Structure formats: C-alpha cells, structure tokens
Structure 1
Amino acid sequence: MAKIKKRGTTGAVKNYITRTQAVRKLQLSLPDFRRLCIFKGIYPREPRHKRRAAKNSTPNTTFYYTRDIQYLLHEPLLAKFREHKALAKKIGRALGRNEVSDAARMEKNLTPKMSLDHVIKERYPTFVDALRDLDDCLSMLFLFANLPQSDTVPPKTIQLCQRLCLEFEHYLIRTNSLKKSFLSIKGIYYQATIQGQDILWLVPYKFVQRVTGDVDFRIMGTFVEFYTTLLGFVNYRLYNSIGLVYPPKFSQKSDEQGAELGAFTLEGRGLGNEQMAIDSEPAEEKQISATAQAEADKILAESATEAPAEETTTAEAQEDGEAEANADTELDAFPAPIDPTSDTLIQPSISASTAAHLFDSFTFFLSRETPRHPLEFLVRAFGCKRVGWDAVLGDGAYTSDEADRRITHQIVDRPNLPLPEIPTETEEEGEQRQNRRLRPGERVPGRIYVQPQWVWDCINAGRLLRTDLYAPGATLPPHLSPWVKPKKGEYDPTKSLEEQEEEGEAELAAEQEDEESDEADEGSEGEEVAGVRGDEEARKREKELIKKGGKEVVDEGAEGMDVELAGSDDESEEEDEEDEEFGGFEEEEESDEEDDDAKAAQQHQRELEAEARGASISSPANKLDGPGSTPGKALKGKQSELQKKLNKKKREEEEEIERQKMMMSRRKRKVFEKMQYSNNKRDAEAEKLRGKRRKLEKGQQ
C-alpha cells in the first residue's frame, strides 16, 4: 500500500511562504526584512494557485519563495540587524532613566558598521553583470544628488551621491564613452557605451525641488545605500582600467566655490604625475597671446620627443588606455579585392573616434542663462578642452572673460539683438575694450552664437550642424529622440514630404485647399450688405428680360420660393403660336442660341438679385462646366476625377486582398485582419501628421 501524503507538505504550500511567516522565521522587524530583501535582490512572487499556497485563506497575502527565505538564514547582515536592535533597546533604557549623555555616547561609539561588499560580489559575479544593472543605479543617484537637504535626506548622502556621479562623469569624459543625449520633460537622458554595454540613465533638471511627505524615503534610502556601494565598485574598476588612481583627489575648497567637475584632480597610477581634470588658468596667465601659447606648446612637444622611451608620462598612459578602450568601437576597413570584376564592399566613412572629437578645436563660453553643468559635461565628453563661463556660475572655468578672443562659440539663450557698431579705435583703446566687461546683449564680431539645442543635436547626429539654424532668437528645428526610429509606413519628421507622400496625395491636398479658398471667397462675396443695388434697378432688369420672352425663376431669398415671372396673356399666346410653327433646322438652331442667351441672362439676373439681398446663389447650372459655372465648381469636377482614380486603384487593391484572403484559413485570416486594421490606423495617423506639416510649411512660405 502506497504511503499517504500529508496535506501541506508538497506543492505550492511548500514552495511559497507568506511575508508574516518569513519575518517570524528570520526573527526580524518588518522594516529590517524589507532592507534585507532589497540588499539581496529578493522580491515577492505570485503563485499560480494562490488559494492552495495560502491554504484556502481569502485575504490578500504577499508570498516569497521558501528557498529564498532559507537562503537569508545564513546572511551575515542578520547579525548586524540584531546588534542594531539590541543597541536600540539599550539607548531606549538610557533615555528612560534620563541619561541623555550615556545614550549619545552609546550611539556614537557602539553603533555597528555594516558593509555591503560581499553582497555586491554575490549579486554581480562578473563586471559585465554590474554594468548591465547600472541604469537604475545612476538614475537614482543623480536624483538624490539634486535633492535639497532635509530631515529625511541627510546632507552626507547627498554629498556622497554628488561625488560618485562626478567621478563617473570624469571617466566618460576621459574615454569619450558618451554617445547620445536627449532633452525631455522629465529631465536629460544620457547614453554611454562601456565595454560593449549600453547604459541609459536620467538626470533631472536643477530646479528647486520640494520634498513632500507622501514619498517613503526610507525605502529609497535603502536603495541609495546599496547603489552607492555598487557605483563605488564600478568606478574603482573603470579608473584602474585606464591607468588612473581611484579615488581621485578632491578639493573641498573648489567644491564649495561651485567648481563641480573642476574640484577633482586625476592622477596616473604609480607615476606620481598629477593632472587637473579641468584645465583652469590663473588670473595672471589670462593675458597670454595666442602666439606665446603656440610657442609654449611647441617647446613642450620638442621636450617630449627628446625624452627617453623608458620615461612614460601620465598623458601617454592615458592615451594608451583610450586607444585600448576605443579599439573595439572603431570600424573595420575592408581591403580591396584582387579580382577587379568582383563586388566591392563600401568602406566606412565615419568612425567612433571622429564623433568623439566633435568639439576638439573649439573654445566654448557659456552664458549665465544657460545650464552650465550639462553643457560643460557634454562638450568635454566630445573632445572640447576649453570651456569658460561667467564667474558667478562657479569656479573652474577656462576663462571668465567674455571678451576673450580665443572663444570660438558662445552658447546663449536670449533673444537676438542687433550687433553694435564698431567704431575705429587705436591699439590702446582696443586693449582697454578687451579688458572691460561686455554689456548685456553685446556681441563680439567673428564669434559664433548658438542656442543650447545645437550641442545636443550635433551629438545625436554625429556631425556639426549648421549654426544659422540655431542662431539666437531663431525658431529651432524639432528636437527628436535619437532612440526612436520610425518604422516602415510611419511618419518620419526627418524626411521631406515628397519622400513620404503617397501617389496623388499632394495633388489632392492642393486641390482641396484651392476649393476651400474659392468657397471662402464666394462666401465673402455673398456676405455683402444688402441694398447696394436698389429695388427699382432690379425691377427694370426683370421687365427687360420679360420683354425678351424668357420665363424667369427668381429665388425669393430666405423662404426659398420659386416664382414664375411671365408677361401678359397676349404675349403668352403669341409665344405658343410661334412654337407650333416649324421654320426648319436653321430656325431651331437660332432658337437654341436664343435659349442659351436667355439662360445666361437668367443666371446673371439671379446673381444680381442674390447680391442685392446679401445671400449666395446656388443653382444646378453651377455644377456643370458651362457659361454659368464658376471656377470653384469646375475645380471640384477635376477633384472628383482624381478622387475617382484613387478610389478605383484602392478598390482594385482591396479586391486583390479579398481574393488572397479566400485562400487563408480562418485563424490566419483573423490575424491578417488585425494586422490590416493596425496598418490602416498607422497610415491614417501618418497622413494626418503629413497634412499638419504641409500646412505649416505653406504658412512659413
């Protein structure tokens, strides 16, 4: 006889455990249990059969894997949590006895220090695993680096996040690892490629942040505690990979003056040569001319070539590290084939190193109204070595003199102002003018002024764009996300309308616009004030037409009644007699001509009376291309012909699709219909966007 299984020992009941059971098993409080799960990367699970796992209990319950909780029983952090709990009891007893000094002494000296180094090694066995999980880490740390100090966010945490983020940015600047960036409503997105791994993170704008009480900063603080340890490990490994000492030297004085990136000094590993991360000039060296600077660079180059091969400098070690880092990103060049008749492969034109040194030969100056830190980080990450700004923005600038002649590009975010007139001046006056401070809005001749978006668009395009499109005060081109690539059939704002329009779409749109304009003109003509031509003049014209022998149908205006205007009884009898007589084909042709003249006169009379009443005229004659037709109605006839042609083509395509659907199975037919519905919806949206762009371009012209 088979052994009877006891209920609750196998299946979902055994595989899952509730949160209450887990807390009791680990002998922890609920906040400590949450911290431990965040550190170890354990999260709740959803059983397939929830009632079985909960032993038929109906309340909502949080479940965990039993094996995960068993794994936490051997965690060294449990001892630290219990030491914290015991210390809290001692401090509580001391405060109960009013021994405040003893409680403060115990909190300062007996608080156990908790290390997460072993947790990082367990969760990330390889360095690539840590890089793959760096997206959320960077977003969280950059967020806390921009938060204000409060009771929930201590200042030490903010300073630590700021320092780790700046160290990571220095590595990106040295290795030119930054690839793309995008300005969004949430903040600034950055993407970097490190050892083949794409890392994307979000940096909020530096606005005044308000810390609200509905956010649980205890849980976020636990994540920050873990992420700071992770980023410290990553920065250590990255700095050592390019031959730099970690952590870099940090100047507290420069940081208090707002230097940010300039507060760090990078040092080569084992060489003892220090190199400032941000090149800054003392006040006495700012007046050095360009020729003197070129001579100094020449002397340094000659001395470097005469140095022995054994003595390698920090710069050479860094260049070697950059070459190794960029070796994998450079494009391969394919040699030409031996056989001239064989196919040849297209050679790559732009390499990663070309885009990395995009701003290498420029000197930027950042105006006070521009965001200094994002622009400084971007231009330095793409090769620029000289960035200056006003002294009020902080320390660490290449130059704080806006009139410096070495500046090639100035980034401004103000409306365009006319250039001041440059009077003739002597050399002494020129030197005095260079030393004085520029007035707000004053421009330096020969310098390129652009808006901040030019930097982001050049980086995403991988090349230098036209600066006249980004001039101060100009309407900027659309700033598009570099990660969203339009699919086939979708609207692509980077392409022209001619490349995306379907057959006959532009012609049909133009004809519709012409028709709308003609209808608007007709409506404006019909809205003239009544009484321009008096009633007496209208009656005279009616009598003249009646004498000619025609019957006039007059629109009575608002009521829409048709009234026949006829002559006397004698005249009507004479007309009947004339109709009964047959005068041959020539007389019939003459009568047809007379009828056409009468119709034209009638139409003219309708227009006159409608004009006198202030209403628009509509008659069946306007629908045809004849003497009484208007240009708008003739255009409508052409439009209908084009529409008929397009409808016929569309109908043929639909018939062909229906014939093909007959050969499909029912399941495939339904899938195809869903695809067809989504494609039609996509095409309609693309056509709508093309129509909007067409109107905008026409308005700009």
Structure 2
Amino acid sequence: MAKQKKKGQSGQAKNYITRTQAVRKLQISLPDFRRLCIFKGIYPREPRNIKKAHKSATHSTTFYYTKDIQYLLHEPLLGKFREQKALSKKIARSLARNEVQDAVRLEKYGMPKIKLDHIVRERYPTFVDALRDLDDALSLLFLFANLPSTTAVPAKVIARCQRLCHEFEHYLITTNSLRKSFLSIKGIYYQATIQGQDIMWLVPYKFVQRVTQDVDYRIMGTFVEFYCTLLGFVNYRLYTSIGLVYPPKFDVASDERGAELSAFTLEGRRVAAAVEPKEEPKQMTNGHAQSGNSEELQAQIDQIAQEITADDDVKQDEQTEDPADSGAIDAFTPAAPEGDVLPQPDRTGDAAATLFSTLTFFISREAPRHPIEFLLRAFGCKRIGWDAVLGDGAFTHDETDPRITHQVVDRPSPAQPLPAVQGQEDAKDQSLQVVKPGYIMPGRTYIQPQWIWDSVNEGKLLRADLYAPGETLPPHLSPWIKPTNGQYDPRATLEEQELEGEADEAVDEEDADETAAIAAEKDEDEDEDIDVGDMDVAVSADDDDSEEEEQDKVEETDTFGGFDDPLPDPDSDFDSESQHQKELEAEASGRAVPMVTSVTNGSKSKARKARQTAQVEKDEEIERRKMMMGNKKRKLFEKMQYSNNKRDAEAEKLRRKRRKIERAASASGKRERDIEQNKKVKTYEGMFERVPSREMNDV
C-alpha cells in the first residue's frame, strides 16, 4: 500500500515561501533582503491558490519561489551584509563610549565595499541580453542625473549618473546610432539602434525638481547602484568595440563651467597607433649609420611604389564598377497593390551622419541647449555655437558670426533686420557682439526647436518657413505610431479625412444650435421685459383687447384657402431676411455685396436622404452576410465591427473639435478685419464731414 502524503509537504505549499520565512532563512534584515532581491533580479510571485500556498492562512502576505531563496543562500553578498552589520555595531559602541574619532575612522576606512560585477555577469550571460535590459537603466540614470542633491540622493551619486550618461551619449554621437526622438509631456524620448537592438529611454526636462517625501529613495538608490555598474560594463564594451579608450578623459574644470558633452575627450587606440610616427630601422655600416640610399636603390623604390599605386587605382575602379559591394540594403516593394508589405530597412548611420553635416547652428539663450546639442551632434553637425551664458565648449559665442547658417529661436519673431555688423571670425577675439532683441541677422535661417526633431524623424531637412519664429507649428506626432486607414491624422486637412456629407451635417447641426441659442436669448429678453425689478407688471384691459384682436387676425390668416394658395415657406423668408441683413452690413462697411452661393434646402434634403438610403442598404447587406457565417466567424466579425466603430467615433469627435476651432479662428479673423474696415470708414466719413465746416469758417 502506498504511503499517504502529508498535507503541506508538496505542491504549492512547498514551491512558495513567504517573505518572513525567507528573511529568517537568510538571517538578514528586511532592508538587506530587499537590496539582495533587487541585485539578483528576484521578484515576488503570485501563487495560483493562495490558500494552499499559505497553508490555509487568510491574512495577505508576499510569496517568493522557494528555489530562488535557496539560490540566495550561496550569494557572496550575504557575507558583506553581515560585515556591514558588525561594523555598524562597532560604530554604535564607539559613539556610546564617546569615542568619536574611532567611530569616524571605522566608518571611513572599515566599511566593506560591495562589488556587483559577478551579479552583472550572472544576470546577462551575453552582451545582447544587457542591451535588451538597458531601457529602464537609462531612464532611471537620466532621471537621477537631473535631480538636486539631498541627504537621500548624494551629490556623488548624481555626478556618477551624469558622467555615465554623457559617456553613453558620446558613443551614440560617434557611431551615429541615434534614430528617433519625440517631445512629450513627460520628457524627451530617444531611440537608438545598437547591434540590431532598439533601445528607447526617457530623459526629463531640465526644470527645478522638487524632492517629495512620499518616494522611497532607498529602493530607487538600490536600482541606481546596480544600473550604474551595468551601464559601466556596457559603455566599456561599446567603446572598445569601436577602438576607443574607456573611460574617456574628463575635464573637471570645463564641466564646472557647464561644458557637459564638451568636457570629455575621446581617444582611439587604433587611431593613435596609426598616427604615432614609427622609427625607421637604421642600418649600420662599419659602425656608422647609413645617411641615405644610393641612386640605383632609390630608383628601384620609386618604380615599385608606382606599380603599387597603379594596382590600387585598378582595384578602386573595379570596386566602383561593382554595385554589389555597396552596403546599402534594398527596399522591397509589393508586387501587387494589395500584397504583403515587408518591413523596410531603416536608414543607416551614414545617412544619419550627413543630415546636419553642412550646417552651422547657433542656439539662443531661451532654447534648451543640451538636447539640441546632443541631437545635432548625433546627426552629423560639427559646428554648434551658443551664448556664453549657457556654458563652455561652443564652436563660437559670437551671435553675429557670418558662418552661422541656422539659429534656433524660441521667442516671438524679430521684425527688424540688424544693421550691417561684421562678425568676429577670429576665435581669439574676445570682444563679442550681441544682437539686440527684435533684430535679425540677414542671410540666416531662424527656426524653432521643433524643426530639428521633425527633420530627424522624417530623415530629411523640412521646410524652414513652416517653423519660423511666431508661426503656428505643425503637429508634432510620435514617430513610432503610424496613422492607419480611418484614423484621425492631424497633418492632413479636413477635406481629405471627412466622410461624404459629414461637413454638411456638421454645418446643419451648428446652425440648429445657433438658432436655438438665439431663440433662448429672445425668450430671456421677453422674460426680462415682463419682470422688471422683481415685480409683475399689470396688464390693462386695452392690452387684452388688442391681444384678442391679434389672435383673431392670426386665425383668419391660418384658415384654409384652397389648394391653389401657395404654402408659406419660412426658410425662404429667413434666407431673404439674412441676405438683406448681409447686404446692409456690407454697404455700411464699404465691402462688396456677398452673392448667394448656398445650396437650396431641397437639394440638401435629397442628398441626405440618398446617403441614409445607401447606409441602410449597406447595413442590410452586412446583416445578410453575417447570417451566412458560422458562430465563431460571426463573433470575430462583430468584435472587428465594434473596434472599427469605436475608432471611427473617436476620429469623428476629433474632426468635429478641429472644425469648431477652425471656424472660431476664421470668425475671429473676420471680426478683426471688419473692425479695421469700420475704423477706416469712420475716418473717411470724419474727413468728409470736416471739409464743409472749414469752408464755412473761411467764408
């Protein structure tokens, strides 16, 4: 007979362990347990049956895999944690005996240092694994690089995060690995492609950050400690893969002056070895160095050199004639219009390196310098200048330098051109000239910062006049979301996206709303006329008689007069009155009389009925097809219909909102033009009225 199993010895009760049991098993404190789990990448788990895993206990708790906790028993960091605990006891004992110097010495020299190199190697066996997990690391390190120093976030940690982030940005600049960027409410998103892996991270804007107390900086500091080690490994591997020395030289004095990226100096191992002059071997003849070659030997050397150069020219011609040797990737186009579309190759680093290579930029003081500088350098720009207030490391601090082709401005458009001012072409000349606000430099293109981001995402230089200072900028859309069929696209016009008859229906709805609002205002005016000073006005008998006579007249006019009498058309009366009012307003303002070009109500109603009939027929056809489907396909089709209807409703809502905004803008512009025209008419009328009075005075 088989042995009966005891309860709680197998299954979920054996596979899971509570946090309290894990802390007791490892014999460490709860904060150290949290640090160890973050370093090792061990997270809480949710069992399928909490009651079985908790052995019929009902209170909520946190569970871990038993094998994960068993794996932590062999971690070398446990010994370090115990050493730190013992040292903290010694420091507390010294302070209790009032031995302050001993406590300071123990804290400064006796604290064991924790190294996380072996954990990085364990968690990421290959370099590709480390690149895949780099998104969160970069986002958190860039966040801490912009935080102010506090007791919870020391200045040393912030400086280390800034240095690692700048080193990573230098690699992207050198290899032109940056692909896309997007300005959002949260911050600036960047995407880079490194060894075939797409890495995306978020960089916050450089505002004054307020450190709140509801954030546990101990947990975040543990993640930062691990991510700093990880990014150091990644930077070392990336730098050595392209032949650069890591870490690069860092100028502390230049960084204190605000140089940021310019404070680093990159050095290449292969480049340095190729540039270093090699000492020629000296041949000794009878104890003396041979001063020079003989004439015959020199002639042979020249002949061999000519043959080598000729062979190289032939090889270069063969390489240029062979198109298969080019590194460009072919673009695949579908053979049929409705065929499958393959993923197209992304633009290479060579194309990205030459986007801004021929331009020279100057960043104004109000523009964000660091993201603009990083983006321009990553896409090939070598000459970037800015005001001396923004920091050190600029190509030029002279705003009137004639070599500048584009200036990034984030203020209203300057209207007056600057007088002829000669820029300082000599870098040693310290007498810099400043352009006053309201002036522009002739021959220079002024753009807003969004032009740089949109040009990078499009892969080409866009029109600069659309991004001029003071202009309404085009919509800045995410480069990772492509508009699909039926979805609202803010870059396209309303006429391209509207459905058939949608604009007419929207106009009819707005007209109905306007008429309802006018009627409501009239009712309010009538109520105000009746109620004066919160008192009811008594109606006399004469008024009652007049009202009865008017009602009798209305009844006489409403009596049936036969089939030959034409029916009254209130719409035609309203149209004639509105047209007459428009003519009077045009004559008063001195403008041309507008012509009636609107479609008649009959044609509108016929078009509306035709659209409704077509829609009903389409719905009936869909219902007939659904009847022929199976149950599974019909449910899938209904889900597709629901999602499509939801998308269409959202797109229609956005189009309606845009239509109202455009109509309001056009109405306000028309109102302003009418006001200006009325002012001109009044001035002309005043001039004509003053002429006879002068003549009368002369008489």
Same fold (TM over 0.5): yes
**For 2:326 and 2:23, how far apart are their aligned partners in 1?**
49
Q: Deviations over 1:552-598 (max 9, x none)?
A: xxx969997764459xxxxxxxxxxxx9xxxxxxxxxxx987x56xx
Correspondences of 1:22-41 after superposition (within 5 Å): 22-41=22-41
Amino acid at match of 2:634: R
- The Cα of 1:503 is off from its aligned counterpart by 2.9
**Partner of residue 663, structure 1:** 628
- Residue deviations 1:618-642, cap 9 Å, x none? xxxxxxxxxxxxx999833332211
Residues 408, 273 of structure 1: CA spacing in aligned structure 2 closer, same or farther, 3 A cutoff? farther
What is the aligned partner in structure 2 of residue 252 from structure 1? 252
- Paired residue for 1:687? 652
Contact residue 359 and residue 379 of structure 1 kept, 8 A: yes
Distance (whole Å) between structure 2 residues aligned to residue 433 and residue 17 of structure 1: 70
Alignment of 1:382 with 2:379, yes or no, is yes
Equivalent residue runs for 1:193-592 within 5 Å = 193-269=193-269, 271-272=271-272, 330-332=328-330, 353-420=350-417, 422=419, 436-509=433-506, 563-565=554-556
**2:435 counterpart SS class:** coil
Asked if 2 retains the 8 angstrom alpha-carbon contact of 1:44 and 1:63, the reply is yes
Counterpart in the other structure of 1:635: 600
Q: Residue 640 of structure 2: which of 675, 680, 683 is its match?
A: 675
What's 1:102 paired with?
A: 102
Q: Deviations over 1:72-105 (max 9, x none)?
A: 0111111111111111111111111111111111
Contact 2:418 2:440 in 1 (8 A): no
Deviations 1:468-496 (A, max 9, x none): 11111111111111112223321122333
Question: Separation in 2 of the partners of 1:378 and 1:70?
Answer: 48
Counterpart residue number, 2:610: 645
In the TM superposition, 1:75-114 aligns within 5 A as: 75-114=75-114
Shift of 1:274: 12
Structure 1 residue 253, shift from structure 2 partner: 0.5
Q: Do the aligned partners of 1:142 and 1:165 also contact (CA within 8 Å) in 2?
A: yes
Query: Tell me, what secondary structure is at the counterpart of 2:416?
Result: coil
Which position in structure 1 is the counterpart of 2:302?
none
Post-superposition Cα deviations, 1:342-380, rounded to whole Å, max 9, x if no partner, equal: xxx999997552233211100100001111101000011
Q: Is the 8 A contact 1:244 1:268 kept in 2?
A: yes
Report the Cα distance in structure 2 between the residues aligned to 1:637 and 1:90, rounded to whole angstroms: 97
In the alignment, is residue 178 of structure 1 matched against residue 175 of structure 2?
A: no
Moved more, 454-463 or 31-40: 454-463
Aligned to 1:281: none
Aligned equivalent of 2:10: 10
**Aligned partner of residue 267 in structure 1, secondary structure:** coil
Alignment deviations for residues 369-397 of structure 1 (CA, whole Å, 9 cap, x no partner): 11110100001101000000011111000
Q: Residues 363 and 384 of structure 2 are in contact (CA less than 8 Å); yes or no, is this contact kept in structure 1?
A: yes
Q: 1:142 to 1:564 in 2, by over 3 A?
A: closer
Helix, strand or coil: the match of 1:152? coil
Equivalent pair of 2:94/2:102 in contact (CA under 8 Å): yes
Separation (CA, whole Å) in 2 of partners of 1:635 and 1:414: 48
CA distance in 2, matches of 1:233, 1:207: 30
Q: Is the 8 A contact 1:511 1:635 kept in 2?
A: no
One-letter amino acid of the structure 1 residue matched with residue 607 of structure 2: L
Cα deviations across residues 253-310 of structure 1 (Å, max 9, x unaligned)? Answer: 10111100010000011554899xxxxxxxxxxxxxxxxxxxxxxxxxxxxxx9xx9x
Q: CA deviation at 1:330?
A: 4.1
Q: Using the TM superposition, give the Cα deviation of residue 662 of structure 1 relative to its aligned residue in structure 2, in angstroms.
A: 1.6
CA contact (8 A) 1:403 1:434 kept: no
**Cα offset, 1:514, TM superposition:** 7.2
Task: Give the 3-state SS of the residue equivalent to 2:160 in structure 1.
Answer: helix
- What's the CA shift for 1:4? 1.5
Q: Distance in 1 between matches of 2:54 and 2:215?
A: 31
Contact in 1 for aligned 2:417/2:442 (Cα 8 Å): no
Which position in structure 1 is the counterpart of 2:319? none
Q: How far is 1:674 from its partner?
A: 3.4
Hey, what's the Cα distance between the residues in 2 that align with 1:632 and 1:333? 50
- What residue is the counterpart of 2:68 in the other structure? 68
The CA distance in 2 between the partners of 1:150 and 1:559, in whole Å, is 84
What is the rounded CA distance, in whole Å, between the counterparts of 2:403 and 2:330 in structure 1?
37
Give 1:512 shift: 5.9
Contact 1:404 1:434 in 2 (8 A): no
Whole-angstrom CA distance in 2 between matches of 1:662 and 1:114: 70
With over 3 angstroms needed to count, the CA separation of the structure-2 counterparts of 1:641 and 1:117, relative to structure 1, is same
- Who is 1:300 aligned against? none
SS of the residue 1:199 aligns to: strand
Q: Which amino acid aligns with 1:332?
A: D
State whether residues 518 and 632 of structure 1, in contact with CA within 8 Å, keep that contact through their aligned partners in structure 2: no
Answer yes or no: is the 8 Å Cα contact 2:398–2:434 preserved in 1.
yes
For residues 213-258 of structure 1, the C-alpha deviation after alignment (integer angstroms, 9 at most, x for no partner) is: 1111000000000000000000000001111000000001101111
**Residue 51 to residue 518, structure 1, CA distance change in 2 (3 Å):** closer
Deviations 1:625-663 (A, max 9, x none): xxxxxx999833332211111111111111111112222
Please say if residues 511 and 639 of structure 1, whose CA atoms lie closer than 8 Å, have aligned partners that are also in contact: no
* Matching residue of 2:158: 158
- Would the aligned equivalents of 2:176 and 2:352 in 1 still touch at CA under 8 Å? no
User: 2:362 is paired with a residue of what secondary structure?
Assistant: strand
Residue segments in structure 1 that go unaligned for 5+ positions in a row: 276-305, 310-326, 336-344, 530-554, 567-578, 580-590, 612-630
How far 1:437 sits from its partner (Å)?
A: 2.5
Quick one: structure 1 residues 433 and 679, their matched pair in 2 at CA, closer, same or farther if it must change by over 3 Å?
same
**8 Å contact kept, 2:400–2:421:** no
The CA RMSD over aligned residues, in Å, is 4.0
**TM-score, with structure 1 as normaliser:** 0.73
For 2:115, what is the secondary structure of its paired residue? coil
Q: Percent identity?
A: 64
Per-residue deviation at 1:7? 1.9
Specify whether residues 449 and 561 from structure 1 end up closer, same or farther in structure 2 by C-alpha distance, changes over 3 A only.
farther
* Aligned-partner SS, 2:78: helix
Q: Which amino acid aligns with 1:639?
A: K
> How many angstroms does 1:692 deviate by?
3.0
Counterparts of 1:453 and 1:656 in 2: how far apart (Å)? 48
Counterparts of 1:506 and 1:424 in 2: how far apart (Å)? 54
Q: Structure 1 652/93 Cα, relative in aligned 2: closer, same or farther at 3 Å?
A: same
Change (3 A) 1:30 1:520: closer
Letter in 1 for 2:487: E
What CA distance in whole angstroms lies between the structure 1 residues aligned with 2:431 and 2:449? Answer: 26
Deviations 1:23-46 (A, max 9, x none): 011011000000000000000000
> Secondary structure of 1:202's partner?
strand
Residue aligned with 1:678, SS: helix
Aligned residues of 1:87 and 1:111 also touching (Cα < 8 A): yes
Q: Give the direction of change, closer, same or farther, for the CA distance of 1:639–1:592 in structure 2 (3 Å limit).
A: closer
Aligned CA distance change for structure 1 residues 107 and 660 (closer, same or farther; 3 Å)? same
Could you say if the C-alpha distance between residues 333 and 140 of structure 1 is closer, same or farther in structure 2, counting changes exceeding 3 Å?
closer
1:81–1:503 Cα change, 3 Å: same
